[in-house]
Structure 1
Amino acid sequence: MTSHDDLPRPPWQQRIQVGGFNPFSTVDWPGKLAAVVFLRGCPWRCGYCHNPELQTRTGPAPIAWDDVEAQLVRRRGFIDGVVFSGGEPTADRALPDAIARVRELGLAVGLHTGGAYPERLQALLPLLDWVGFDLKTDPGEYQTVTGVAGSGSRAWASASTVAASEVAHEFRLTYHGALVSPAAAQRVAQLSAHLGVEHFALQAFRAEGCEQAWLARDAALPDELVARIAPLFPHFKLRSAS
């Protein structure tokens, strides 16, 4: 007799690239206690990235989906939902199946994304309960942060789609003066407010995990920038590096 453990896994479970797992987080989905599934792969190479080990999908996945699911099952009743993060989680084409499986477990689903794949994100929105949208800079200056031409138009197309959706969302901008000027940061906030965004977070750069050691210098958030951005949003958060 074949046991359940001997049954072949669905193809998507064999393809999904889970690079990390956090069983309990109070910060990845504001107001919720969530598990976080980190997926490998990202088309961008942002200088301040603090998860550079998740940028590539080379080699087998470090964590099997079976192990993730087993932990989620044990935590039902203790967590509100699951956040898929990265890397850029929409880079993984198995993501829609993973989201569907999490919903079958009775858990809500959140997503962290930079919007690199607008079409994929638009298709995912009906499956999501919340989106944390990471903006990089002014649309015309994206390449200076991501290193990829055309990334600005894709990101802001995604931003418009999320802002116009009925899915709860928070837009956030990580600030470092060497990569994002105060003027560009203010324009990001103004464009977000124009899209109707109400929840916006301005985040200080975190050196932890970043491969560019020099960025640890001069990373403070200017007080005058905070003062200009905060009034634009009904729900504004300032997140320090600590």
Structure 2
Amino acid sequence: MILAGLQKNSFIDFPGKISCVLFTTGCNFICPYCHNADLARGEYPARFKLAQVIDFLKSRRGMLEGVAITGGEPTLEGGIVDLCRAVKSLGYPVKLDTNGSRPAVLRGLLEQGLVDFIAMDIKAPLNDYHPFSRDPKIHERLAASIRMIMESAPAYEFRTTCAAPFVNANSVETIARTIEGAACYVLQPFNRRAVCLDPEFNRRQDPTLFPDEMMRLKTLAAPFVRTCMIR
């Protein structure tokens, strides 16, 4: 297994823990505002073998409190089970970032107790994913992942990157109704300085939703979930 990147320290990627971040490469979505464009395209900013990562994690025992695995889309990686099992064998909790498109992989990880926290991105209402995925059944897979996470994940959050024109009051309320009763829903402002998968995305127009609009979206979503926050 080859990993595309390793961030040695993070205070924000694993809620409540000092973590390192492991990056896989390749994604089955085509989100125009994606800020990990090289990873999404399957390119390798760096190359780390699993053995190198394990050696690093062994050397950081007592300093790191968890490991976050992100991408790209980690559930596309054939070695994701082996990676999570190796990390867990060293005593580290595992957080997984996912787009939710592969519920069968999530089920396997959860049934084997290999993930402690799942963060699933929800891009838009489930029937409006055509800008992000060409899979005609993607809404079914996403719905299955949402149900599974809410029923089985030890800890989790759902997240929406708030970038116009994809996100507005109607879409956020629809998403919040879809995950009604969820433990946590996070609204993330789009970073207009990001280099996007579509290089023209934030050049054609300003997709930023400013603080007053973000607060409005939070107010709309909050009644449907236990915790709603802007990060």
Q: TM-score, normalised by structure 2?
A: 0.88
Return the alpha-carbon distance in structure 1 between the equivalents of residues 182 and 191 of structure 2.
Answer: 24
Return the alpha-carbon distance in structure 1 between the equivalents of residues 34 and 207 of structure 2.
Answer: 16
Q: CA deviation at 1:58?
A: 6.0
Number of the residue aligned with 2:186: 201
Q: CA deviation at 1:147?
A: 4.6
Deviation by residue 1:73-121 (Cα, 9 ceiling, x = unmatched): 1111111111111000000010100111111111111100111111111
Task: Label 1:114 to 1:147 Cα distance change in 2 as closer, same or farther (>3 A).
Answer: same
| Equivalent residue for 1:160, pick from 139, 144, 147 | 147
Q: Secondary structure at the match of 1:43?
A: coil
Return the alpha-carbon distance in structure 1 between the equivalents of residues 10 and 129 of structure 2.
Answer: 29
Contact 1:20 1:37 in 2 (8 A): yes
Structure 2 gap segments, 5+ residues each: none
Q: Let me know the Cα RMSD of the aligned residues.
A: 2.0
Structure 1 gap segments, 5+ residues each: 1-15
Number of the residue aligned with 1:234: 226
| 1:118 and 2:103 correspond | yes
Task: Label 1:134 to 1:92 Cα distance change in 2 as closer, same or farther (>3 A).
Answer: same
Number of the residue aligned with 2:138: 151
| 1:177 and 2:164 correspond | yes
| 1:83 and 2:83 correspond | no
Q: Secondary structure at the match of 1:183?
A: helix
Q: Percent identity?
A: 30
Q: CA deviation at 1:128?
A: 1.0
Q: CA deviation at 1:151?
A: 2.3
Contact 1:174 1:204 in 2 (8 A): yes
Deviation by residue 1:131-164 (Cα, 9 ceiling, x = unmatched): 1111111011011233543322212211111111
Number of the residue aligned with 1:219: 208
Letter of the structure 1 residue corresponding to residue 15 of structure 2: P
Q: Secondary structure at the match of 1:42?
A: coil
Letter of the structure 1 residue corresponding to residue 108 of structure 2: A
Return the alpha-carbon distance in structure 1 between the equivalents of residues 48 and 153 of structure 2.
Answer: 33
Number of the residue aligned with 2:10: 25
Q: CA deviation at 1:130?
A: 0.7
Contact 2:97 2:120 in 1 (8 A): yes
Letter of the structure 2 residue corresponding to residue 210 of structure 1: C
Return the alpha-carbon distance in structure 1 between the equivalents of residues 5 and 145 of structure 2.
Answer: 25
| 1:47 and 2:32 correspond | yes
| 1:66 and 2:51 correspond | yes
Letter of the structure 2 residue corresponding to residue 115 of structure 1: G
